[in-house]
Amino acid sequence: MDNVDVQVLKKADEWLRTGQRAVLGTIVRTWGSAPRPVGALVAIRGDGLVVGSVSGGCIEDDLVERVRSNAAAATRPERVKYGITAEEAFRFGLPCGGTIELVLEPLGPQSQIAELLARVEGGQQTLRRLDMRTGTVTLQPGTGRDVLIATDDELISVHGPRLRLLVIGAGQLTHFVATMAVALDYTVTICDPRAEYADSWHVPGTTLVRTMPDDTVLGFKPDTNTAIVALTHDPKLDDLALIEALKSDAFYVGAIGSQRTQDKRRARLVEFEVTEAQLARLHGPVGLKNGARTPPEIAVSILAELTAAKYGYVIPRPVPVTAQQVEAGCAA
């Protein structure tokens, strides 16, 4: 499952290879309640076919008309704004007077879309430098800390995974978690030293390692763009990973298991000099508490909680609507 940016790049590359005219749009600045983040992409073919989104659909109609009539980015990149006035905000469906600024660029051989796509699909974070005067593009490796920069002279956009996910355990649940995480633009690594699980692992776009979990976490050097989730249900493996993960800078650390399992786990981790402050960072039972029971449902709950943590949201524990509720992960 490709993430949205890869879908846009693939379609743009296809259009270019078949001789179609196409324009690429990139959000470079937002004010107020813009519906899509900076860096979001949309590609529009000369006949109006659209892939990707920069507004959820309200602005795309106007962009299509501009591209069809050659009124936008006909020969060189240009900047456009939507929602500057209250009237325009209402017209384009931007809530609360939001404003979006985009760079539109005509695509061609100078755009290096095929090379960019190859790098992104290979898991390489890449900086794309667009010369606003000539439309020429240069590509270079990213550092993991890059951000989009737009000036009158150039647009520097960041492509490829910026977030990392390390999952301990290659079981059935992990297949769903990994597939969804790839679509959410994570670089996904699976750690499982057990041959009976690792030998059957096959999720495109992920990396499998067979090293011990604690060594894997240490070698991973978790930073604030890293999430670590333990899903083996085997304390010998999960605990090893958690001891090191909770001492790291990872923005999210979670472990599968019921509340009783979590209580026992916390008691064990204290014996390995994990502090109370570090234990407080553990998301366990892992995932949002939404009654999930099947592996795909539990995977959704886990990725939803990762998304909330990434954006700094704390979601209150919901009130069950029935007496019989299952903790996420307990039925896996």
Pair (29, 153) in one structural domain: yes
Residue 324 belongs to some domain of the structure: no
Are 10 and 137 members of one domain? yes
* Position 315 in a domain: no
147 & 14 share domain: yes
- The two three-digit tokens of residue 156, written as one number: 């520097």
Q: Greater confidence, 144 or 175?
A: 175
Q: What angle do CA 325, 327, 330 make, to 5 degrees?
A: 115
Other beta carbons within 10 angstroms of residue 63's beta carbon come to 23
Domain total in the chain: 2
Burial of 96 (0-12, 13-18, 19+ CB in 10 A): exposed
Phi first, then psi, for residue 25 (nearest 5°) are -115, 135
Q: Name the 3-class secondary structure at 68.
A: helix
Q: Is residue 171 domain-shared with residue 195, that is, in the same domain?
A: yes
pLDDT at residue number 1: 56
Q: The domain that contains 286 carries what CATH number?
A: 3.40.50.720
Same domain, 149 and 193: no
Is 327 within a domain? no
**Average confidence (pLDDT) over 174-201:** 94
Same domain? 142 vs 173? no
Judged by phi (left if over 0) then psi (alpha if -120 to 50, else beta), residue 165 lies in: beta
pLDDT beyond 60 at 275: yes
Q: Comparing 85 with 113, which gets the higher pLDDT? A: 113
More reliable by pLDDT, 36 or 191? 191
Task: Give the phi and the psi of residue 292 in degrees, each rounded to 5.
Answer: -55, 140
Instruction: Please check whether residue 321 lies inside any domain of the structure.
Output: no
pLDDT number for residue 53: 85
Range of 254's domain? 163-310
Strand spans (E) along 142-191: 149-150, 154-159, 163-168, 186-191
> Do residues 206 and 152 both lie within one domain?
no
Q: What single-letter amino acid sits at 134?
A: T
pTM of the model as a whole: 0.69
Q: Name the token pair of 274.
A: 């994990």
Asked if 215 and 148 sit in the same domain, the reply is no
How far is residue 56's CA from residue 37's CA, in Å, rounded to a whole number?
Answer: 11
Q: Are residues 67 and 127 in the same domain?
A: yes
Clarify whether residues 168 and 306 are in a common domain. yes
Residue at 319 is within a domain: no
- Considering the domain architecture, whether residues 254 and 239 belong to the same structural domain is answered as yes
